[in-house]
Amino acid sequence: MSDVKRTEGEWREILTPEEYRVLREKGTERAFTGEYWNTYEPGTYSCRACGAELFRADHKFESHCGWPSFYDSIDRSRIHETVDNTHGMRRVEVTCAACGGHLGHIFPDGPKPTGDRYCINSVSLRFQPLAKAPGE
């Protein structure tokens, strides 16, 4: 059950049209166009809609699919998985457990240790770089 409750009108006020399309209407951004598909700095990725921390940069890997890909989440209880049979495919959709925002899909073709590939829309995420110590 989602903890963050907002009306669709409230979501429209706080999200850009593209964020709303992906997070609330289960859209997908085009491959290789998102802000984070090729970002590998240390830090944390949070849900763009509600701020829940979802993924760590050290779990990110290059999957060559054009979207940010992670082999694990910070805590699997922060993500809901639901079977998605749309578009003539059988996939598993992942949403933010806190707000219900659509993040992307999970596939069983990732690297060890999990074998999972969380294929996530950049527009569903907000990246927080790891703070550097003074003098770095």
pLDDT tens digits, one per residue of 53-95: 999 999 999 999 999 999 999 999 999 999 988 878 888 999 9
Question: In which residue are the tokens 């959709």 written?
Answer: 93
CA distance 110 to 2: 27
Phi, psi of 125 (to 5 degrees): -120, 160
pLDDT of 135 above 80 = no
CA distance 30 to 94: 18
CA distance 39 to 57: 9
pTM over 0.75: yes
CA distance 45 to 81: 18
Instruction: Specify the pLDDT at position 89.
Output: 81
pLDDT of 1 above 50 = no
Classify 50 as helix, strand or coil: coil
Tokens representing residue 56 in the block? 């760590």
pLDDT digits (tens, 9 = 90+) for 89-132: 888 999 999 999 999 999 999 999 999 999 999 999 999 998 76
119 catalytic? Reply is yes
CATH architecture of 8-129: Beta Complex (2.170)
- Identity of the residue numbered 79: I
47, 50, 96, 119: which is the annotated catalytic residue?
Answer: 119
